[in-house]
Structure 1
């Protein structure tokens, strides 16, 4: 049987070993985290940079909340771009004015009506082409479009089998096309995506497949886009407001 003194010595030794072991593990963990962050930043996090774009329309980038406010948030971004002070209303106000609901999201006709009521010049059109998109962006005009939210995968979109009502065009999402880059393999397009922190890109083949959606009444919007035939001349991405 060990004495109380011997127990005390063992406890102290154990404590020292635990501290040294913890310091070693923490040090290793810190190195591993640094390596992981570096690897993610360099290899998987970003697909490019906005400086690589041939045309880029700098529109304020805002984040949606919930799963149904993408259209409302896109309108909010566009209004902030055209009217950087007066258009700076909270999302709830835009939801109310656009008639956004959790069941139907924000239907295209509601957005069109809202822009017309606010005297925003727009051109809405279906069956738009990649060349049409390039032409509009060259004018400095962004296009609000409804697409399928996810890339083609096991859990992705269904744009062909209308008999499968559970998956056919059920992943609708609003984004704003704001620019492009011409590459050897084709065009890459830049987007303000309210479900993303920052900007997103998509190549023309992927966009061509995903550029279709359906409202809750079963109306299909094929390559539908609302061109904002305005420019955000008042918006300065480097500007600051006085905090009143």
Structure 2
């Protein structure tokens, strides 16, 4: 048993969302959406961008087409992913506490997966740069993306663990729905969206508030609320 857990039982794995949870890419996505819509004569507001957070391309593309983007899903996905990938390539925009908790869990011997709606062209370079993920499940390798549970179930299967013994970390409505439906213990990080309480859902304001023993407590059924008073 890793010493970081003292008398607690470590989760079988921690399953991480990427955009918004580990890295602050949402501004890149919103800027790319705005550029694309405006290039086709439409209008895209910050509220429109917020409504897209956490959704798969199968949901986002029809919304963008409704705003005038006259392109098929594949070309929309290619444009958005290329813009975001270029932003990340210039320097990983880490969320507060993300690097530290990833390193701490790795040092404690906990397997980790990256489970993202972003496509491989963005997810795999990030995972390779970090070097701490045992498995990568991107949005273009599953049949039913978030909010369906398939991405998290796939990650657990590839890791060879029971998803019910895992902790999933998310920041969006669609992501939380996916993780909860998979049967994992779920932590919601309230970064850009207020996430409603639901049975068994832990909520935090920042990854900097989480410790390695916290993950063991959550895996053991404890529900944490570490949001900061406004």
- Flag whether TM exceeds 0.5 (same fold): no
Structure with more helix by fraction: 2
TM-score norm. by structure 2 comes to 0.28
User: Rg bigger for which structure?
Assistant: 1
Q: Structure 1 or 2: larger strand share?
A: 1
Taking structure 1 as the reference length, what is the TM-score of the superposition?
0.26
